[in-house]
Amino acid sequence: MKRSILKNRRDFLKTSFAGVAGMTLLSCSSSGSEKDEAAKDDLVYRKLGGTGIELPVVSIGTGDTSDPGLIRAALDAGVKLLATSQYYGEGRNESMVADVVKERGRDSALIMTSAMPEGFNHKEGIFDENARVEPFINRFEESTARLGGYVDIFLLPFMAKRESVFYAPYLNVMENIKKQGKARFIGIATHSHEDEAIRAAVEARIYDVALVAYNFRKNNRKETSEAIAYASGKGMGIIAMKTMAGAYWDEGRKEPINSDAALKWVLQNEHVHTAVPGVMTFEELQKDIALMKDLSLNDAEKSDLRLSLNEKPDGPFCQQCGKCIPQCRKSLDIPTLMRSHMYAYGYRNLSHAHETISWALAETDPCRGCPSCSVTCAMGFDIRGKIAKIARLNNVPKEFLA
């Protein structure tokens, strides 16, 4: 394993846009070499809404890696936005990102992070009677301490319904975080009901950016695209996540999705200012950076994307539509369980899967007692079978998954 990682790194360094610097969103310096300038020309930049910041359209999500060398390589290649979160490894991912950025100077990169809200009902997409802001504020303070004293972009995650975006206690906390200068910009992140959440964020009048689950397989992509255009027109920065749509067509990971085509599809939308695909290897990073040379979709790539018309019922990608919830006799939070399944079987990020399932399930056999599954999934999933597979993670100590 170690040998393959080192080889992966050597191959990347031989062929990457190493040394790209300058053209920064803040105040880092350029090496000024002709090689740097030539490589820099291959990057496509867009302005992040009303923030005025120009970013390459490809940024990276850091939650799928614990390798600081990969983060260094991303910055060398011209990436400026690093998307992490307090709940990736209980802050360890933030610390890794912060250490790399500190080596180059805190202003050498833009760091985006988020913290878990307290008392959020993931199943309903709203805050419940257990909602409290104090733990959330404490988590934010812990993040800022890890990240060098301030956060560039801080997000309130899992927003879905308009009601959650406008929930006054959290709305006030987010506004105060920005007013106090603890975060340069604030925003929401949304995994479901994206169009409703995006429009609500605009109407709230305090948010600068929205991190949106957006890909070619989403059934609500038309509505989400319209909401993205609306928000962009109002000056909101739009950042796309979940761009790989599960990474594989099948649970067995034998049929990979064309990752270049999937990312290009997202970036065809000019109102998406940058995307944060997760990267686990130097090869993945190299491919993501290289595709900026030509964002157009060729015929073969378009054909690959059309495979989504014939979805596989054993695939890892869930629409997060929520139609399953009222069908379940036990009222399980099936969308969250399916998202955990995707992290495990699509992205092979068991730590993230373990964390996600903990929000929805505390047992390993939640379907016990049901003679048959009452849920008919919009994707054709065997819901009971997938829950049985992912629920096994509750038997694994989380330190084994780090």
pLDDT tens digits for 57-85? 999 999 999 999 999 999 999 999 999 99
Cα maximum dimension of the chain? 69
* CA gap 352, 350 in Å, rounded: 5
pLDDT of residue 358: 85
pLDDT of residue 337: 93
pLDDT of residue 224: 97
Picking from 48-57, 217-226, 351-360, 364-373, which range would have the lowest pLDDT averaged per residue?
A: 351-360
pLDDT per residue over 382-393, tens digit each? Answer: 999 999 999 998
Number of H-type helices and E-type strands within the chain: 15, 12
The alpha-helical segments, DSSP class H, found in 41-187 are 68-76, 92-104, 134-146, 162-165, 168-179
Element (H, E) at 187: strand 183-190
19 pLDDT above the threshold of 60: no
What phi and psi values does residue 325 have, to the nearest 5 degrees? -60, -50
pLDDT per residue over 236-253, tens digit each? Answer: 999 999 999 999 998 888
Cβ atoms < 10 Å from Cβ of 225 = 17
What's the whole-number average pLDDT of the chain?
A: 88
Over residues 251-266, the mean pLDDT reads: 93
Opening angle at CA 298, ends 40 and 36, nearest 5: 10
Coil vs helix vs strand at 385 = helix
* Higher-confidence position of 309 and 194: 194
Picking from 1-5, 165-169, 283-287, 340-344, which range would have the lowest pLDDT averaged per residue?
A: 1-5
The domain defined by 2-306 carries CATH number 3.20.20.100: yes
CB 131 within 8 A of CB 117: yes
Over residues 277-288, the mean pLDDT reads: 94
pLDDT of residue 115: 96
pLDDT of residue 25: 34
Amino acid at 9: R
Q: In what order do the strands lie in the sheet with 81-83?
A: 60-61, 81-83, 110-114, 151-156, 183-190, 209-213, 237-241, 274-275
What percent of the chain clears pLDDT 90, i.e. is strictly above it? 68
Amino acid at 8: N
pLDDT of residue 360: 81
Nearest to 244 by CA among 211, 198, 284, 188: 284
12 pLDDT above the threshold of 90: no
pLDDT of residue 357: 87
The set of residues, in sequence order, having a beta carbon less than 8 Å from that of 228 and lying 6+ positions away, is 198, 212, 214, 238, 269, 271, 272
Q: What are the domain boundaries of the chain?
A: 2-306, 325-400
User: Is the full-model pTM beyond 0.95?
Assistant: no
Q: How confident is the model at residue 154 (pLDDT cuts 50, 70, 90)?
A: very high
* CA gap 195, 203 in Å, rounded: 12
28 pLDDT above the threshold of 50: no
The set of residues, in sequence order, having a beta carbon less than 8 Å from that of 299 and lying 6+ positions away, is none
Over residues 114-134, the mean pLDDT reads: 94
Amino acid at 300: A
214 pLDDT above the threshold of 90: yes
* CA gap 280, 96 in Å, rounded: 14
pLDDT per residue over 320-335, tens digit each? Answer: 999 999 999 999 999 9
pLDDT of residue 7: 42
29 pLDDT above the threshold of 90: no
Q: How confident is the model at residue 5 (pLDDT cuts 50, 70, 90)?
A: very low
Q: How confident is the model at residue 181 (pLDDT cuts 50, 70, 90)?
A: very high
